[in-house]
Amino acid sequence: MCQTDNAASAPNDLVAVDSRPVTRPSNPYQPVGDYLSNVGRFKIIESTLREGEQFANAYFDTETKIKIAKALDDFGVDYIELTSPAASEQSRLDCEAICKLGLKAKILTHVRCDMRDAKLAVETGVDGLDIVIGTSSFLREHSHGKDMAYITKTALEVIEFVKSKGLEVRFSSEDSFRSDLVDLLSLYSAVDKAGVNRVGIADTVGCASPRQVYDLVRTLRGVVSCDIETHFHNDTGCAIANAFCALEAGATHVDTSVLGIGERNGITPLGGLLARMLVTSPDYVKSKYKLHLIKEIEDLVAEAVEVNTPFNNPITGFCAFTHKAGIHAKAILNNPSTYEILNPEDFGLTRYVHFASRLTGWNAVKTRVGQLGLVMTDDQVKEVTAKIKALADVRPIAIDDADSIIRSFHLTLQNGHDGQTNGAAPAVTA
């Protein structure tokens, strides 16, 4: 895996590259100005302790929940969402325990649009309730069996109750993208007039495309005056893109979970979203979140749910900042921004050049020669590079294999120099 700057050793076939000051060009990825866009002023509702509990492997005891909550709070998330206290007695006790921690982040709990759940939740000490009910024909017929008139009436009653307790309240439809648009907008208009802090749209089955998300959020933005929260499942691989498009269209809040864990394939991952947003709004993201903590948080959650961090995970995947092809390595050694849109230093990580392969270039090998404390001419480096490639064509090689070739080649040159009595000596030193 990618190592932090103070790591004892690099992966066994990679070489850490010393960072050099880099003047990165002005951001060409800044979106076109749009007064509705919130890509530079969004808020995160971190749902690892709610949506994440629905991940197949998840079992968070109270101690683990508290560790995760504290880590997320230290990282800088705006809200931490917890499992409904109506789910179980331990869920209620855990909710109360986390509310007593005195965290900077606001604590929310996710409850059904049901007065019994709401009354139980307000007694736990949370800062707000996230109320939800299914609105698609699928869920109205096969889940709760209620019509839109009942949904609207019940929503308004629960919202009024929560507001009377002085708490934040969000109302969200479930399965928003398979709901009737007229029904959806009528419902949102009603709860907006009732004074909710946020309305939520949820791609509950991960069916939405970025264009669909943009269109719905943009339309909704013209109907409600309150904030808009978004929740995207990743069944079709669009969760990060959908969250970004929602912010572009005027959404204000995004639900995330660490490593994206959740029901089925999970939701928008915290690290992946911030990788996307760092490219677009670097000053905002760096000022708001402690990015160097992301690996520590992901390791904590990965261990708790007994999974490995995916190799291609944004930021923390073991090869996220690893460069292998010779052309890439040469450019990276000259200026890392040539093949990196993210700077590993922003996350407390290190980039590596993978030079022990048949794809390596002599510039990468030259860097390794210097790291080994040896000196060779460019022609000599090119010759030893050819030897490394020759072995790598026969079998996979590790960094020790490549180092052995370099040292043996250098020793041969040095011995030739020691035995030479006439003529120019090869330009090598130890």
Using DSSP bridges, classify how beta strands 253-256 and 322-323 pair: parallel, antiparallel or unpaired: unpaired
328 carries an active-site annotation: yes
Token reading at 27: 């951001």
Cα-based angle 110, 298, 274 (whole degrees, multiple of 5): 75
Are the CB atoms for 12 and 403 separated by under 8 Å?
A: no
Cα 59 to Cα 1, 143, 305, 307, 357: the distances in Å are: 25, 25, 7, 13, 41
Burial class of 81 by CB neighbour count within 10 A (0 to 12, 13 to 18, 19+): buried
The answer to whether 296 and 71 are in contact (CB under 8 A) is yes
Catalytic residue from among 231, 253, 328, 354: 328
SS3 160: helix
CA-CA distance, 111 to 125, in Å (whole number)? 14
257: closest CA among 60, 390, 415, 425?
A: 60
Whole-angstrom distance, CA of residue 322 vs CA of residue 328: 10
Q: Which residues are annotated as catalytic?
A: 328
